[in-house]
Homo-oligomer: A and B are copies of this chain.
Amino acid sequence: MDDDLIPSVFARDCASRGVLANVTGRWGGLALAALHEGSFRFNALRRRVDGVSEKMLAQTLQALERDGLVRREVQATIPPRVEYSLTEFGTRVAAKFVELIELVEGEIGTAREAQEAYDRAH
């Protein structure tokens, strides 16, 4: 994207599409939503985001840190303690994502009925 242009996720080369992809990727949104509840150490976060592998969570957190959404803090204890939390930008994005999650969770009955109707018809 040229700096002169208005950012648009619809344009394939716009940087905003990359950030959005990290936010909404397989694990990115769930990690953000978990961190919206508070800061976590790596293993505790992994337990919260049920089903994520160690490798995928590490990659997800790196991408979110690089985008300025997640802060990684190493505390000088022995052994060192690594804690993940949201930045100010991350907090705003996570809050919006949590709203999306709550909408989907609240309408899961609607979705299931639609799925059953679709599967009968196809």
Number of interface residues of A (CB under 8 A): 51
Contact partner of A68 (CB less than 8 A), chosen from B8, B97, B99, B115, is B115
- The secondary-structure label for the interface of chain A is helix
**Known contacts A24-B29, A26-B21, A111-B89; is-contact A16 B65 (Cβ 8 Å):** no
Q: Which of B16, B49, B100, B105 lies in contact with A104, CB distance below 8 A? A: B16
- Does A35 reach chain B (CB closer than 8 Å)? no
- What residues on B are CB-neighbors of A89 within 8 Å? 107, 110-111, 114
Q: How far is the CA of A76 from the CA of B111 in the complex (A)?
A: 28
One digit per residue, 1 when the CB lies within 8 angstroms of any chain B CB and 0 when it does not, for chain A 89-116 equals: 1001100110111011101101111110
Q: Flag if A15 contacts B111 (CB, 8 Å).
A: yes
In the complex the two chains form, what is the Cα distance from A25 to B23 in whole Å?
Answer: 10
For the complex, is A61 an interface residue (Cβ under 8 Å from B)?
Answer: no
